[in-house]
Amino acid sequence: MTVEAIVLALLFLAGAALYSSVGHAGASAYLAAMALVGLAPEVMRPTALVLNLLVATIVVVRFARAGRLPWRALLPLVATSIPAAFLGGVVQLPGELYRPLVAVVLLAGAWRLATARFGREPMRTSIPAVAGPLVGAAVGLLAGLTGTGGGIFLTPILVLAGWAPSRDAAGLSGAFILANSAAGLGGVLTAGLVLPPELPAWILAAGIGGVIGSWLGAARYRVLGLRRALAVVLVIAAAKLVILP
């Protein structure tokens, strides 16, 4: 294993731990790490999606056991997001479009991580019959295009719109990420992209991070300072994508 691969494994472990503690799978952190070491876009997308699948599964199990995953509310979101994520995965954007698009995703992730509260919590989870599927489709398409699960967009939408309390929103986002990552990966592999040979070691690292983070999240361990530090890393990575060739 190269030094670069080892560094990425450590970064993936840290990203998975931080993101899973708030109900996310960490795709934006994985993309940031790969951008910082200069991996090609055709490697970044499938790698981020595979790691997302693993960590999102851990998150879903943890939140479902805690009674924070309202399955009925999930259906209107994933019914449209899954085909949209698959379509986004099939599309291969040129580098000059892909890089700024991923930069936007990273900045959105930075904003999500650096935000402590979204305002007053709703009493229960209620997804609108029309707006819910529309949001699911839009976030799913972006998830497939960028190699993320879409949780960094969905969670603040659910809470800001008053559709779900924070912990239910985190559980829904974990399941949403899992569904979209699977659909997006299917589209990416259909397009003929291959997975890097270092992936098994990276999967192990992300899995360890996901277990640690989901345990910390379930114990209500506050990681706000670490999340803000990671937000700075995401901003730097986004700037690198836009400024550097």
- Between 114 and 15, name the one with better pLDDT: 15
Model confidence pLDDT, tens digit, residues 29-45: 898 899 888 888 888 88
The 10 Å Cβ neighbour count of residue 113 is 26
Write down the pLDDT at residue 235.
85
Angle between the 3-20 and 224-243 helix axes, to the nearest 10 degrees? 130
pLDDT of residue 221: 55
Higher per-residue confidence, 233 vs 210? 210
Give residue 16's pLDDT band: very low, low, confident or very high (50, 70, 90).
very high
pLDDT over 90 percentage in the chain: 28
Bigger pLDDT: 151 or 209? 209
Q: 77-81, 98-102, 111-115, 216-220: which has the minimum mean pLDDT?
A: 216-220
What was the pLDDT predicted at 241?
Answer: 75
User: Out of 2-6, 73-77, 121-125, 135-139, which region has the weakest mean confidence (pLDDT)?
Assistant: 121-125
pTM: 0.80
C-beta of residue 57 within 8 angstroms of C-beta of residue 25:
no
- The CA-to-CA distance between both ends of the chain, in Å, stands at 27
Q: What is the pLDDT of residue 219?
A: 62
3-state secondary structure of 101: helix
Quick check: 93 and 146 in contact, CB under 8 A?
no
Q: Angle, to 10 degrees, between the axis of helix 27-37 and the axis of helix 41-65?
A: 150
